[in-house]
Structure 1
Amino acid sequence: MVRETVTIVNKTGLHARPANAFVKVSKDFACDIFLEKDTKKMNGKSILGLLSLGLNQGSQVDIIADGEDEQQALETLVNLVKSFTE
């Protein structure tokens, strides 16, 4: 299992479009993917799970990957979240 904390920089947070993009990319990987904020942990392959975390600008969230392609998944998803600037 690998994990990295990222800060949401998008001024509108991780709203529907970026959340949908995150889920699409997540589904390309065989490993399990989760996002964790405070005490809430949600499946990274579920749009409803992501949106329910309420990730606003400045929120810190852990991206967690667990499985055979975990390192590649983590790097890809961290870079994806960092690319959401607008």
Structure 2
Amino acid sequence: MLAPLHGASSAEVRTLQITDVDAAAQTVRLGKRPHPVPLDPASWTVLERCLDHRAKWPTTNPHVMVTKGTKAERSPASTAYVSHVLDDC
């Protein structure tokens, strides 16, 4: 949702961290953009679902997108993971 609706790059999505999310304002900080990006209701719902799913994993990884391979680390999801996560769509 961040890519097609908000022009987020793969790197911006991969490196999005929990601290980049402002729930009260429903915005995210993407990459080096100078201002927070306000999210539309659909994008916010998707982000909330992602955060809910992430909260069920025992991890200290600061990134929003955590995979089986990164949950024990602090690194973002791989470029390959992000490029293939939507293959079924």
TM-score using structure 2 length: 0.28
Structure richer in strand, relative to its length: 1
Larger Rg: 2
Q: Taking structure 1 as the reference length, what is the TM-score of the superposition?
A: 0.29
Larger RCO (alpha carbons 8 Å, 6+ apart): 1
